[in-house]
Chain A
């Protein structure tokens, strides 16, 4: 029996590092203490306030039911996630490249998901590859990869040019930024070459994915495919430790900070978390702070002392 190749080991390792890297980031942020409210309007989940207002506009707001709209939030989020709508409005010059770049990545990820679905259906559920649904999945994967690669290449070259020539970005661009863009460009380019020159029907790719998900040795795919898979694996190992994870950070920064307007009600979970945070012992050194005391103490001690004066 053939052994699992080094390439496969690299693939599995990359997925494990990616998973652990993202998990450690999630743990880092989700275990941070509650922060003070710092919302920014407009908040799309505020119901019936298209002008961007909040429940603070209502008389005796705390006596009224809290009305949120998921549809309002989705109406904002979907165009933002798919088309980077805010950037379209605020920085069109960047959007021209940033949108195809990101959309190309979405399609690329989508292509992989379709390949995986096809493989699971044929390898684990044993559906015939002649079935219409399988054909559809396979054809869609080709389209997703094809358009994804082209958009990704166009976007990353555009962003590289913009980084190199824009006066606005001068001084704020580092070798690392170029490295990241070139890295993604190479992944996209190797994928496109492999697709066009060696594997038009994604047959080798399907075989490869099948081997991966069934933990079976894989017949050597074409050299460009190998380059593509190596680059992708290295990227997955690198990715969790970069600011490119901003797609996940965006959720925290928008949903959990900019749009976080949940009031602190008596007996609520927020109250308990605030209570815990007020118990932290701070050691700020400025003279007006009682160094080494709990937040709850320094926030009230000063006041009491002042009262005695």
Chain B
């Protein structure tokens, strides 16, 4: 055994920190980042934060969970965790994922084939705790030892050596948020074990039983979404005002007044955007409006609370919240009498309402849901608007959002479009269903807690950074302006932060945008370039 190698059972042993992260051990980045890691240091938590908050896993804080001092309360905490674990394995409490979870817990051969598929594990320099199998194995051992009441010696013989204590549970809370749920590991498992699902279920246990979830995902996320109308905090009136502002902005850009159709009953389509687009990337909903106007698409946008925000954070951590938001979306579509719901450029919104909620939205709520990619393809490939590809003369690569591609199978429409309208389009490797996550998946993109962003930029987003740089290695000169097409709000958020952290625009001239922006940029009728570049 390698000296100081962290073992599965070490998670239970109290220590200042289970692993130390050293940028020098991280996966190397290509030119011009050969020396980057020797120059940058990871942000450390303060001693005060270390005393108050759980940061004994890897020194990073995704949740900021307050430590519990009293022994009695710690015991209660552990007991409650075990109660939740029991519930995960009952059909009444977890019919949603009981079968895949039970199979994944019972059938891992522990061959470690999945490890190298995980961008977090590889990017970190192969830290033990980031193996896809590590947290799964912790949970599996707890189930086998504590729920099946194995005595200690038997647990050791059968590979279930673990101690369930306060330290274990506190570290598990953080560890549940060191995986982006991209499920790339599952593609390589010879048996089909789903370590991503086990992480998902662990998050659910914490949320549904102990009420523990990252504040940005739960309190300010799905709860705010249901109560205020949007996870961005944007209330209905602010949303309507924002649309008016965007209409003025569009008029300035394209010289034509284009209205957002709001609450238009009987429309063919209810279009739902991730509301973050309206605030962070208004050019995206504007481009939808310009394109749909030109192509004569009959659609509406809802101004009902929940209805103007397509996100569904429940997908990442809580089945009840997932169901509530999905049902609300479907109810609004039903009230508007639309024929279908079209999801804007948001990967997790795609999967949540199209795939996962397919077995929540029953009977009259079962309104067809469609990806905007299919609609774009129809418009572009059938020449419903006049396009001039030479207007997109920059080198372009495509980032595949996991939720849209590996987890939903929407792979080719976006490629067929780019091949037609972006002459310098090239793939990054690997791509399509074998893509790498942007590093911001499963909520990471919106989690700015303490020093967690440093972890994201250096570990979960590192593989994407590498892929993007490699796609443009022959034109890496910052004077050549290059674009990453990322048809997902969450991925764009992560790319924005990642490119800023690594000063990529300055060093390599790479920027990012969505897909519809490329289509509008190529429209013959739009005289000025629609795609904008950062100011230098």
Complex contact A57–B209 (CB within 8 A): no
In the complex, are the beta carbons of A254 and B192 less than 8 A apart? yes
B168 interface hit (Cβ, 8 Å): no
Complex CA gap A294/B111 in Å reads 40
Contact B327 A303 (CB under 8 A): yes
- A258-B186 in contact given A41-B433, A56-B409 (Cβ < 8 Å): yes
The answer to whether B409 touches A303 (Cβ under 8 A) is no
Given A53-B411, A53-B412, A176-B157, check contact A257 B103 (CB 8 Å): yes
User: In the assembled complex, which residues on chain B have CB atoms less than 8 Å from the CB atom of A264?
Assistant: 358-359, 361-362, 366
Contacts of B356 in A (CB 8 A): 36-38
Within 8 A of B (CB), among A11-70: 29, 32-43, 46, 49, 51-62
Q: Are A246 and B197 in contact (CB under 8 A)?
A: no
Q: What is the total number of residues of chain B having a CB less than 8 Å from a CB of chain A?
A: 100
B211 touches A287 (CB 8 A): yes
Are A57 and B412 also in contact (CB < 8 A) when A42-B433, A278-B362 are?
A: yes
A183 within 8 A of B: no
Contacts of B361 in A (CB 8 A): 264
Chain B residues whose CB sits within 8 angstroms of the CB of A39 once the complex forms: 355, 407, 409
B residues 484-507 in Cβ contact with A at 8 Å: none
CA distance A175 to B156 in the complex (A): 8
Give the size category of A's interface with B. 35 or more
In chain B, residues 87-137, which have Cβ atoms closer than 8 Å to a Cβ of chain A?
87, 91-93, 95-100, 102-104, 106-113, 115-117, 128, 133, 137
Which residues between 160 and 179 of chain B lie within 8 Å of chain A, taking CB atoms?
Answer: 160-161
Q: Which one, A162-170, A195-203, A207-215, is touching chain B?
A: A162-170
- Asked if residues A299 and B192 are in contact (CB atoms below 8 Å), the reply is no
Contact assessment for A284 and B87 in the assembled complex, using a CB-CB cutoff below 8 Å: yes
Q: List B contacts of A33 (CB < 8 A).
A: 91, 95, 98-99
Residues of chain B within 8 A (CB-CB) of A250 are 107, 191-192
A266 to B361, alpha carbons, bound, how many Å? 10
Residues in B216-231 with C-beta less than 8 Å from chain A: 218, 223, 226-227
Q: Is the CB of A285 within 8 A of B327?
A: no
Contact of A60 among B103, B191, B211, B340 (CB under 8 A): B340
Residue among A29, A254, A284 with max Cβ neighbours from chain B (10 Å)? A284
Q: Which residues of A contact B324 (CB under 8 A)?
A: 299-300, 302-303
Q: Check: B265 CB closer than 8 A to any chain A CB.
A: no
Complex-state Cα separation, A38 to B192, whole angstroms: 12
Closest to B160 in A: A174
Chain A CB within 8 A of B432 CB: yes
* Contact between chains at A57 and B411 (CB < 8 Å): yes
| Complex Cα spacing A171 to B7, Å | 6
Point out residues on A near B: beta carbons under 8 Å.
29, 32-43, 46, 49, 51-62, 84, 86-87, 90-91, 94, 98, 167-177, 243, 246, 249-250, 252-254, 256-258, 261, 263-266, 270-271, 274-275, 277-278, 280-289, 295, 298-300, 302-303, 306-307, 309
Q: Which residues of B does A touch, CB under 8 Å?
A: 1-2, 5, 7-8, 80, 83-84, 87, 91-93, 95-100, 102-104, 106-113, 115-117, 128, 133, 137, 156-161, 183, 186-188, 190-194, 197, 207-211, 218, 223, 226-227, 305-306, 319-321, 323-324, 327-328, 331, 340, 354-356, 358-363, 366, 368, 370-371, 373-375, 377-378, 405-413, 432-433
